Amino acid sequence: MKRAFKYRFYPTPEQVELLALTFGCVRFVYNSILRWRTDAYYERQEKIGYVQANARLTALKKEPEFSWLKDVSCVPLQHSLRHQQTAFSHFFAGRAAYPVFKSKRHKQSAELTASAFKYREGKLYMAKSKTHLDVRWSRPLPSVPSTVTISKDAAGRYFVSCLCEFKPVSLPITACTVGIDVGLHDLFVTDTGFKTGNPRHTAKYAKQLALLQRRLSRKQKGSKNRARASAKVARIHAKIVDCRLDNLHKLSRKLINENQVVCVESLKVKNMIRNPKLSKHISDASWGEFVRQLEYKAEWSGRSLVAIDQYFPSSKRCSCCGYISKSLPLNVRHWQCPECSAKHDRDVNAAINIKTAGLAGFACGESVNP
């Protein structure tokens, strides 16, 4: 299997200048080719593919006004066109919207293949740089990377992601199974009644973030003070993201380590965040990212992830007798079954039903990963 290992690194002033130039060239090539392809279609009904786009890039390099494109490696420029072609493929297949222009105010990245970097004796060198990158190797690489992606986030931090071949090791088989019901009051509740709680990282930094955003709104556009204020806001957002991901990784790893089969509910998160009252809370909970982590960690560890149908009435169905309540508003956290008089905690009852349905489908060979 292939796995990406992400590390933070601290570039030298010369490397900062080279990376800024590389990011700028990648962004310029992507935006200029995108504009050229768009105009060609609307003006002449001409469809441009990757081969024509690559030829256009070669022509741009030969023009005197764009000679600075030769100051960086050609590999990330060509890869930006490959990414653009992939974006068009997703658009024509109906999986994504039309490709948009890249902005210098957001995350910047450049992808390097084996011809544009060297990895020797635990040191990583990029093309056009004489010194190695000062990477904080938190863990050793399992093999020589085939692809390296260098990125800079809005907070000004530099990261390198190394794509390597690795052999996953399956965990010992266990008889434990679990069903989980995700929510907002608790990130998830298991069928045994365990509740994780919800850290609510966005709410934790809401006052500090609001203060910095008000200060940013008063700064003059294009000034250095505005750039510094924008960096402070970006650092708060980065802190929120890091805290959220750290919590999700710990919880997902714990579930995979302790259970052979994990049963979850399929949710259309993109549709759920359209609710204006709950969209911020649903986004902060990151249910989609949580299930994604469970999926690939289960594959690496030899576990099974079972996703039941999204329309399965897990909360309204009595886990004791199977009675389905006609209506169960969100503010009702506990209810009693009118058939068997069993008292239920809404979330625990849903987790039990999810586990029952998931194991039944898994036994029949109908396990479907989300």
Q: 153-175, pLDDT tens digit by residue? A: 999 999 999 999 999 999 999 99
> Are 41 and 48 in contact, with CB atoms under 8 Å apart?
yes
> Are 125 and 114 in contact, with CB atoms under 8 Å apart?
no
Report which DSSP code applies to 220.
P
Nearest to 114 by CA among 73, 155, 65, 83: 73
The tens digit of pLDDT for each residue in 261-295 reads: 999 998 888 888 888 888 999 999 999 999 999 99
- Distance between CA atoms of 17 and 131, rounded to whole angstroms? 13
* 3-class SS of residue 133: coil
Q: Where do runs of H (alpha helix) occur along the chain? A: 13-44, 50-62, 74-92, 201-204, 206-218, 224-258, 269-272, 279-285, 287-301, 346-363
pLDDT of residue 178: 95
pLDDT of residue 22: 96
End-to-end CA distance of the chain: 20
Query: Residue 195: what are its φ and ψ, rounded to 5°?
Result: -120, 130
> Are 323 and 339 in contact, with CB atoms under 8 Å apart?
yes
Q: Dihedral angle at the C-alpha atoms of 98, 104, 106, 109, nearest 10 degrees?
A: 80
The tens digit of pLDDT for each residue in 333-358 reads: 898 998 898 899 999 999 999 999 99
pLDDT of residue 275: 87
Residues carrying an active site annotation: 181, 265, 347
pLDDT of residue 326: 86
